[in-house]
Amino acid sequence: MNIVVLDGYALNPGDLSWEGLSGFGEVTVYERTSYTNKQEIIDRIGQAEVILTNKTPIDEEILQAVPQLKYIGVLATGYNVVDIAAASKRNIPVTNIPAYGTDAVAQFTFALLLEIVNQVGVHNTSVHQGEWQNSKDFTYWKKPLMELQGKVLGLIGYGAIAQAVAKIAHAFNMKVIYWNHRPKQAQANWAQQVSLKELYQHADIISLHVPQTAETTKMIAHEAICQMKTGVIILNTARGGLLDEAAVAKALNEGKIYAAGVDVVSQEPMSKDNPLLKAKNCFITPHIAWASVETRERLMQIAVDNLQAFLAGEDKNRVNKKS
């Protein structure tokens, strides 16, 4: 069996092993494949019966050109890179990797928040530049510092990641409120479900944990921002398209939003003209909330398990129905 990994670098830049796949057949790993050059995608799939993709798109035209293909494994939770209808029509199973990074993303959400309220990076740089050594006082601070105790954290979405974030917030003695598109009972009596309007009005910190859909795209725009407290902090470790980035940048520069911590943006890699790059107090990381070694090892093992199940005639983490 020929197995092709179309874009393996993001998952495994060299610190993991593809050995788990080699027991199933001959494995060819490409670090990157063009997202736009369909002929390159087709040529690299070649005669492979199994392909694994992270962000390389697989559409009807590509599937038509590789009739021997029997399995598509997506190396991520989101599987919109694959034309599901076209795969289902050919009875090609498409699998994904669900719930592999819940704790890592929750941890990173708080890493962004703690950087905003404690300003560790700014002060570390200051000390290394000699400012403490030359200070007249035993202490100083370059930017305002903030205590989280008693602050209201508003979670937009209340799935597994948001619930993990809520537990961390509770440990910091924060008040937790949440909105979910379908009512969802909290398992803890310290988390309160509210309307989206109430969340905007009462939250000191708003953290996004919903998928990007037609309804949620640019949900944090001018109208929503106007309903928020002045000085609110926005966190986004979900999808960049949830923010109207121009509106958020404007609100940051005007002080309506105190700070934003984002691990995702609307176009990735980030465009040079993204307005968040020049916005005040905006902390940006390159989509790494999921990227701890332990999390990527877990993702790799689930991908292997999915393929092993397929070869045994079973469905595991299949996202499309059998035709």
Q: Is 44 a catalytic residue?
A: no
- Cβ burial of 277 (10 Å; 0-12, 13-18, 19+) is middle
Q: Which of 225, 230, 269 is nearest to 245 (CA)?
A: 225
Q: Which of 133, 131, 150 is nearest to 141 (CA)?
A: 131
Question: Which of the following is catalytic: 287, 297, 298, 318?
Answer: 287
Asked, as a colleague might, if the bond just before 275 is cis with ω within 30 of 0, I would say no
Q: Angle at the Cα of 207 (from 269 to 166), degrees rounded to 5?
A: 130
- Cβ burial of 161 (10 Å; 0-12, 13-18, 19+) is buried
Q: Is 268 a catalytic residue?
A: yes
Q: What is the dihedral of CA 255, 261, 263, 266, to 10 degrees?
A: -20
Question: Which of the following is catalytic: 26, 61, 268, 294?
Answer: 268
- Taking CA atoms, 55 is separated from 46, 79, 105, in Å, by 18, 9, 19
And the tokens for 1? 């069996």
Q: How far apart are CA 49 and CA 311, in angstroms?
A: 11
Q: How far apart are CA 127 and CA 279, in angstroms?
A: 25
**Helix, strand or coil for residue 126?**
helix
Residue that has been written with the tokens 């939003």 in this structure = 257
**Helix, strand or coil for residue 73?**
strand
Q: Is 239 a catalytic residue?
A: yes
**Helix, strand or coil for residue 196?**
helix
Question: Which of the following is catalytic: 209, 239, 245, 296?
Answer: 239
Catalytically active residues are 239, 268, 287
